[in-house]
Amino acid sequence: MAVGALLVKKRKYGIGILAAWGGVMLGFLITTMFIMKNVYMYYGIIVLCAVVLCVIAIKVETIVIIMMTSFIGSYACIRGIAMYAGNFPDET
């Protein structure tokens, strides 16, 4: 609960932390795709992706907020239409 309250008060850093987590996931994807044998390179790529995405998200905070809210809103709109109209494929 304290972490959530801190992220609400410091929105820019909260976005940076979420982007860093996305960078970690991107790093996992890259290292898995190229099958890294070297342990140092494996973790280096993961950390590098996390840091780069964190810095980028902090620099372009408003663009990130606009893009995420538009993505979530468009998903909710299409999902609502799919539930009403029926016969749409499920996400899973």
pLDDT digits (tens, 9 = 90+) for 24-77: 999 999 999 998 889 999 999 999 999 999 999 989 988 878 888 999 999 889
The predicted-structure confidence for 3-23, as pLDDT tens digits, reads as follows: 777 777 888 888 888 889 999
* R_g over Cα of the chain: 17
pLDDT the model gives residue 36: 84
Model's pTM, two decimal places?
Answer: 0.67
Please report the DSSP string for 23-78 in residue order.
HHHHHHHHHHHTT---HHHHHHHHHHHHHHHHHHHHHTHHHHHHHHHHHHHHHHHH
Q: How far apart are CA 27 and CA 44, in angstroms?
A: 9
pLDDT at residue 83 is higher than 80: yes
Give the DSSP letter of residue 92: -
- The total number of residues shown for the chain amounts to 92
